[in-house]
Amino acid sequence: MSLQGSVTPPGDKSISHRAGLFSLLASGICRVANFSPCADCASTLAAVESLGGKVEREGGEVILHGAQGKLISAAVDCGNSGTTMRLLMGLLAGRPGSYALDGDASLRRRPMARVADPLTRMGAKVSTSEGRPPVTIEGAQLTGQRHELAVASAQLKSALLLAGVQAVGETLVIEPHLSRDHTERLLAAMGADIAQAEGGWRVRQSDLEQLPRLRVPGDVSAAAFLLVGALITPGSRVTTLGVGLNPGRVGLITVLQRMGSKLEVSQEGDEPEPWGRVSAAYAPELKATEVLASEIPLLVDEVPILALAATQAQGTTVLRSIGELRVKESDRIAAIVTQLGALGARLWEEGDDLFIAGPTPLKPQGSYDSYGDHRIAMTLAMAGALCGQTLEVADAACAGVSYPDFYRDLEALQQ
Ligand code: S3P
């Protein structure tokens, strides 16, 4: 069974989170079109409301009323969303009040000291439960600091920049490798005093004003599953429409092109960020590649689906320094190795590197586990599509964390 047709993926999750959360600090009213319908962004909007922000929904748009930093003390449930929790940590650290942040069992396993520690150096009063959620915050006056991050993480960088727009003095954030810059772009558009400096970003205390309108591009990380499905499934051709093409998010496209696939990318706009269409057709001669540590942040959410593509490529693909994947919604390295391995793929880890030998025909047998991780669930669904079957996957519905209509869109493409 091949995949044929075009799909408009949901609004970008990262940009939707930021639009929602930044409204807490800003003045003005923003009408957001194509706000992500995913469960994670619903957690963000619920958090905004519980902190005193006003959110309305009208004709498919989300209307955010700026709270101008006048927040109410609250206990916030961040659900499964690391972005909600980490960005809120930086945002709330500088607001007067008491806040408690918690989440589901997966979020409770994720590291928060990487955010709490640098915030503490800025004067924040943040405590974690041995480095993990629940997190409590007593708002304090923050002072700008220079931060050199040990990990390339857009969530950590964003938390520190959000603290920085409220801090006295200058805050500088330098990453070991560049990660997505949605926060920097949106803060700049909202009037923040932010600029590139020393290979990173420096920000000063700023008043923020919301854009009157924001149209969120489609989520390229959601599109990625269907595009890879088309590349590896004989006879397929899929076009994804209106997807974000932020350079910090298109590492998968670069790597797949290097592997010999003819992905066609055409940019059709640049507001609020570059966006356009991406088409993929069956690529029978994919070649293995080495993905460098500096490329990983540009495709960090696409590693599971890239690993599936690599099982069909000639030679051994190496993904370097993917240790961060151990602390995502699941231990994604373990999940990839066990679940693709159970399908017959030849792959193994060495330290923080992942090796995938191909091409290997996949042979479904028995049942599979998403580990409650949306990106693992969608990767397994695409492996099933390649084999012309629907795999039995525990908690397959968790795809709704980022892509609620994923199974419907996949079914519509199957011919
Ligand atoms: C995100 C950053 C990435 C990514 C996550 C969303 C963001 O996490 O994996 O899905 O919106 O900033 P890290 O910052 O932990 O790399």
| Model confidence pLDDT, tens digit, residues 170-185 | 999 999 999 999 999 9
Count of alpha carbons within 13 Å of 257, Cβ hemisphere only? Answer: 10
Is residue 141, in this structure, part of any structural domain at all? yes
Q: How many CB atoms are closer than 10 A to CB 284?
A: 12
Give, in order, the Cα–Cα distances in Å from 203 to each of 88, 172, 207.
Answer: 17, 7, 12
Spacing, Cα 270 to ligand 1 middle (Å): 22
One domain for residues 93 and 237: no
Rounded (5°) CA angle 47-217-271: 110
Q: Which atom of ligand 1 is nearest to the CA of 14?
A: 11
One domain for residues 226 and 275: yes
Which pLDDT score is estimated for 262?
A: 86
CB-based contacts of 341: which residues, under 8 Å, 6+ apart?
Answer: 347
Range of the domain at 112: 13-214
Residues in the annotated binding site for 3-phosphoshikimate = 13-14, 18, 153, 155, 301, 328
Is residue 172, in this structure, part of any structural domain at all? yes
One domain for residues 210 and 67: yes
- State the residue for tokens 């495709």: 299
Is residue 1, in this structure, part of any structural domain at all? no
Is residue 242, in this structure, part of any structural domain at all? yes
Is residue 8, in this structure, part of any structural domain at all? no
One domain for residues 258 and 398: yes
One domain for residues 20 and 124: yes
| Domain final residue, candidates 172, 198, 214 | 214
**Count of structural domains, the chain:** 2
One domain for residues 39 and 181: yes
| Domain final residue, candidates 214, 239, 258 | 214
Which pLDDT score is estimated for 404?
A: 98
Residue-level pLDDT, tens digit, the chain, 415 residues: 999 999 999 999 999 999 999 999 999 999 999 999 999 999 999 999 999 999 999 999 999 999 999 999 999 999 999 999 999 999 999 999 999 999 999 999 999 999 999 999 999 999 999 999 999 999 999 999 999 999 999 999 999 999 999 999 999 999 999 999 999 999 999 999 999 999 999 999 999 999 999 999 999 999 999 999 999 999 999 999 999 999 999 999 999 999 999 899 999 999 999 999 999 999 999 999 999 999 999 999 999 999 999 999 999 999 999 999 999 999 999 999 999 999 999 999 999 999 999 999 999 999 999 999 999 999 999 999 999 999 999 999 999 999 999 999 999 999 9
Which pLDDT score is estimated for 310?
A: 99
One domain for residues 162 and 225: no
Which pLDDT score is estimated for 316?
A: 99
User: Which residue's C-alpha comes closest to atom 10 of ligand 1?
Assistant: 301
- State the residue for tokens 């801090």: 167
One domain for residues 249 and 207: no
CATH, residue 326: 3.65.10.10
Q: Which atom of ligand 1 is nearest to the CA of 157?
A: 14
One domain for residues 200 and 274: no
Token pair, residue 245, equals 């093409």
One domain for residues 120 and 258: no
Is residue 112, in this structure, part of any structural domain at all? yes
Which pLDDT score is estimated for 165?
A: 98
| Domain final residue, candidates 214, 232, 248 | 214
One domain for residues 232 and 201: no
Phi-psi region of 254 (alpha: psi -120 to 50; beta: other; left: phi over 0): alpha
**Measured from the CB, is residue 154 less than 6 Å from ligand 1?**
yes
One domain for residues 334 and 227: yes
Q: Which residues are catalytic?
A: 301
